[in-house]
A = this chain, B = another copy of it.
Amino acid sequence: MSFYKKLEASWASSKSLVCVGLDPDLQRIRKCLPETDRPFEAFGMAIIDATAEHACAFKPQFAHYAAAGRLNELKTTIDYLRDRHPDKLIILDYKRGDIGSTAAYYAREGYEVYGADAVTLNPYMGGDTLEPFAAYEDKGAFVLCKTSNPGSDELQGLELASGGPLYLHVARRAAESWNACRNLGLVVGATYPEELAKVRAEAPDLPILVPGIGAQGGDLAATLAAGANAQGTGLLINSSRGILYAEEGPGFAAAAAKAAEALKLEIQACLQA
Q: What 1/0 mask marks residues of chain A from 129 to 170 whose CB sits below 8 Å from any chain B CB? A: 100000000000000100111111111101111100010011
Bound together, the chains give a CA A112 to CA B68 distance in angstroms of 10
- Interface: A82 (CB within 8 A): no
Interface residues on A, range: 35 or more
Contacts of A150 in B (CB 8 A): 128
> Oligomeric state, in number of copies?
2
Bound together, the chains give a CA A155 to CA B108 distance in angstroms of 25
Question: Which of B95, B113, B151 is close to A96, meaning CB atoms less than 8 Å apart?
Answer: B95
Q: Smallest distance from the beta carbon of A158 to chain B beta carbons, Å?
A: 6
Pair A128/B105 contact, Cβ less than 8 Å: no
- Interface: A106 (CB within 8 A): yes
Bound together, the chains give a CA A56 to CA B71 distance in angstroms of 31
Pair B149/A125 contact, Cβ less than 8 Å: yes
- Interface: A100 (CB within 8 A): yes
Bound together, the chains give a CA A110 to CA B139 distance in angstroms of 28
Question: Which of B66, B69, B112, B124 is close to A144, meaning CB atoms less than 8 Å apart?
Answer: B124
Q: Indicate whether A151 sits within 8 Å of B129 (C-beta atoms), given known contacts A63-B109, A105-B67, A113-B69.
A: yes
- Interface: A127 (CB within 8 A): yes
Q: What 1/0 mask marks residues of chain A from 82 to 103 whose CB sits below 8 Å from any chain B CB? A: 0000000000000111111011
Other 10 A-B pairs with CB < 8 A, given A63-B96, A63-B105, A67-B108:
A66-B105, A66-B109, A66-B113, A123-B155, A125-B151, A125-B152, A126-B156, A128-B154, A159-B160, A166-B166
